[in-house]
């Protein structure tokens, strides 16, 4: 049995949420087929366990994920849940990626569809999925600020932006949190982005804490990757890179076993240990994986544990980038 997730505040002006959030993308898209019944059961189990922060995107399954969350929330008190929505990614009917549109008109149109799919009057945190290179961040933030004033959005968030963009956005309107990948093998934000966010009082919602399953302790070198699973194109899951990265996982397993916990629990606990302003998002698609992730809340890492983890998986230890080159090019946070 795990303890009920503690509550925390996202940045200085953000909402109060659970200390662990649920990332819902994999229930609809990008990791291959998912069981819809099990997805809804997992969402409800998370809510029953005290998880209140649900993260989604309007392009996850082209609205499917939002409809799924609506089904899971049926009969629940909307005020007990914080829904974070990303928008702006443009996709074709064949699921191809066509770029980003975070212009003011597109921002407001996207929200209108999101509100309808979720059957809600407001979104707790609304954020562009990536920086639109054709639209100044001040214009995108200004459009969301209009939606805040109108009561359709409670807080403005950002995703995968760099320190300079973060400053410009915060100057235009208070920002609750920055959603960005953060794990033992994805630590580039520690150089500039994280210090800037802390200076500005902006929280961090950390996705990819298990590096898309790579750090889960359940991945194997011979695991088949389906045609609709984007990990088949991820450099960290390819050939010698995968072998190298799984060796890091085995080093982490030694530490986990000594503590009597799982590899995934150590990896999640490590992200949580980086600061009270960081909320890990776990991408569990099944109730058993959710239960394992919630168990990380009971893991206390001593300084000796942290030193051992750092020695086993030092910063920069991973082989391969976290995305393929075309996707890396869209990450303002990496430039």
DSSP letter at 20 equals S
DSSP letter at 217 equals S
Residue 157 makes CB contacts below 8 A (sequence gap 6+) with 14, 84, 125, 126, 127, 175, 176, 177, 178, 179, 205
Tokens standing for 327?
């996707």
Question: DSSP H helical segments within 98-162, as ranges?
Answer: 104-118, 137-149
Specify burial of residue 5 (Cβ count, 10 A radius: 0-12, 13-18, 19+).
buried
Tokens standing for 191?
């150089």
CA distance 146 to 128: 15
Bridge partners of 84, per DSSP, are: 55, 125
**How many angstroms separate the Cα of 96 from the Cα of each of 91, 93, 127, 202?**
5, 7, 21, 32
Catalytic annotation, residues: 60
CA distance 282 to 138: 30
Find how far residue 190's CA is from the centre of its chain. 17
Tokens 């776990």 label which residue? 282
Q: How many residues does the chain have?
A: 335
Specify burial of residue 316 (Cβ count, 10 A radius: 0-12, 13-18, 19+).
exposed
């Amino acid at each position: 049995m795990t303890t009920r997730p503690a509550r925390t505040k996202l940045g200085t002006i953000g909402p109060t949420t659970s200390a662990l959030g649920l990332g819902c993308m994999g229930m609809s898209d990008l990791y291959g087929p998912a069981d819809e019944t099990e997805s809804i059961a997992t969402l409800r189990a998370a809510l029953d366990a005290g998880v209140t922060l649900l993260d989604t995107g309007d392009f996850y399954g082209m609205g499917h994920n939002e409809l799924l969350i609506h089904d899971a929330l049926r009969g629940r008190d909307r005020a007990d849940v914080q829904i974070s929505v990303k928008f702006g990614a443009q996709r074709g009917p064949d699921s191809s990626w066509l770029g980003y549109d975070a212009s003011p008109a597109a921002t407001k149109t996207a929200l209108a569809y999101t509100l309808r799919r979720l059957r809600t009057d407001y979104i707790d945190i609304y954020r562009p999925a990536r920086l639109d290179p054709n639209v100044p961040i001040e214009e995108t933030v200004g459009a969301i600020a209009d939606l805040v004033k109108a009561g359709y959005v409670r807080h403005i968030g950002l995703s995968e932006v760099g320190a300079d963009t973060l400053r410009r956005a915060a100057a235009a309107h208070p920002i609750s949190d920055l959603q960005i990948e953060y794990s033992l093998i994805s630590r580039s934000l520690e150089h500039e982005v994280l210090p800037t966010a802390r200076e500005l009082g902006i929280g961090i919602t950390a996705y990819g804490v298990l590096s898309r399953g790579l750090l889960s302790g359940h991945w194997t070198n011979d695991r088949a990757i389906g045609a609709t699973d984007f990990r088949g194109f991820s450099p960290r899951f390819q050939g010698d890179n995968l072998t190298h990265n799984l060796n890091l996982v085995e080093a982490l397993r030694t530490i986990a076993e000594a503590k009597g916990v799982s590899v995934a629990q150590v990896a999640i606990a490590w992200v949580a240990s980086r600061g009270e302003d960081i909320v890990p998002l776990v991408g569990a698609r099944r109730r058993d994986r959710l239960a394992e992730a919630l168990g990380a809340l009971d893991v206390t890492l001593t300084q000796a544990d942290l030193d051992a983890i750092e020695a086993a998986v030092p910063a920069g230890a991973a082989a391969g980038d976290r995305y393929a080159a075309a996707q890396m090019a869209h990450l303002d946070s990496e430039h």
